[in-house]
Amino acid sequence: GAVVSQHPSRVICKSGTSVKIECRSLDFQATTMFWYRQFPKQSLMLMATSNEGSKATYEQGVEKDKFLINHASLTLSTLTVTSAHPEDSSFYICSAETGYQETQYFGPGTRLLVL
Amino acid sequence: AQSVTQPDIHITVSEGASLELRCNYSYGATPYLFWYVQSPGQGLQLLLKYFSGDTLVQGIKGFEAEFKRSQSSFNLRKPSVHWSDAAEYFCAVGANDYKLSFGAGTTVTVRA
In tens, the pLDDT along B39-79 reads: 988 889 999 999 888 899 999 999 999 999 999 999 999 99
CA atoms of B26 and B21, how far apart (whole Å): 17
Q: Give yes or no for residue A17 having a pLDDT over 80.
A: yes
Q: What is the CB-side half-sphere exposure of residue B61 using CA atoms within 13 A?
A: 19
- DSSP letter, residue B45: E
Q: What is the pLDDT of residue A94?
A: 96
**Nearest chain A Cα distance for residue B82, angstroms:** 22
Please give the residue that has the higher pLDDT: either B5 or B40. B5
Nearest Cβ partner for B43 among A43, A102, A107: A107
Q: Give yes or no for residue B3 having a pLDDT over 90.
A: no
Q: What is the overall mean pLDDT for chain A?
A: 92
Residues of chain B numbered 35-64 and touching chain A (CB < 8 Å): 36, 41-46, 49, 51
Q: Do B44 and A95 touch (CB under 8 A)?
A: yes
H/E segment holding residue B24? strand B24-26
**What are the distances in angstroms from CA A42 to CA A39, B68, B109?**
5, 26, 16
Mean pLDDT of A69-83: 93
Pick from A66-80, A97-111, B78-92: least confident: A97-111
Buried b or exposed e, range A34-67, using 16+ CB within 10 angstroms = bbbbbeeeebbbbbbbbbbeeebebeeebeeeeb
Q: Give yes or no for residue B96 having a pLDDT over 80.
A: no
Closest to A47 measured CA to CA, from A28, A15, A23 = A23
Nearest Cβ partner for B32 among A6, A44, A101: A101
How many contiguous H segments (helices) and E segments (strands) does chain B have?
0, 12
Are the CB atoms for B17 and B82 separated by under 8 Å?
no
Residues of chain B numbered 81-100 and touching chain A (CB < 8 Å): 90, 94, 96, 98-100
Question: In sequence order, what E strands does chain A have?
Answer: 4-7, 10-13, 19-25, 32-38, 44-51, 57-58, 67-73, 76-81, 90-97, 104-106, 110-114
> A88: pLDDT confidence band, cut at 50, 70 and 90?
very high
Number of neighbours of residue B74 by Cβ within 10 angstroms: 28
| Highest mean predicted confidence (pLDDT) among A38-42, A70-74, B78-82 | B78-82
Q: Do B43 and A44 touch (CB under 8 A)?
A: no
Q: Give yes or no for residue A1 having a pLDDT over 70.
A: no
> B103: pLDDT confidence band, cut at 50, 70 and 90?
very high
Spatial neighbors of A95 by CB under 8 A, at least 6 apart, are: A4, A33, A34, A36, A104, A105, A106, A107, B44
Spatial neighbors of A98 by CB under 8 A, at least 6 apart, are: A2, A28, A30, A104, A105
The CA R_g of chain B, rounded to the nearest whole Å, is 13
Q: What is the pLDDT of residue B30?
A: 77
Pairing outcome for strands A110-114 and A90-97: antiparallel
Q: Report the SS3 class of residue A88.
A: helix
**Nearest chain A Cα distance for residue B78, angstroms:** 22
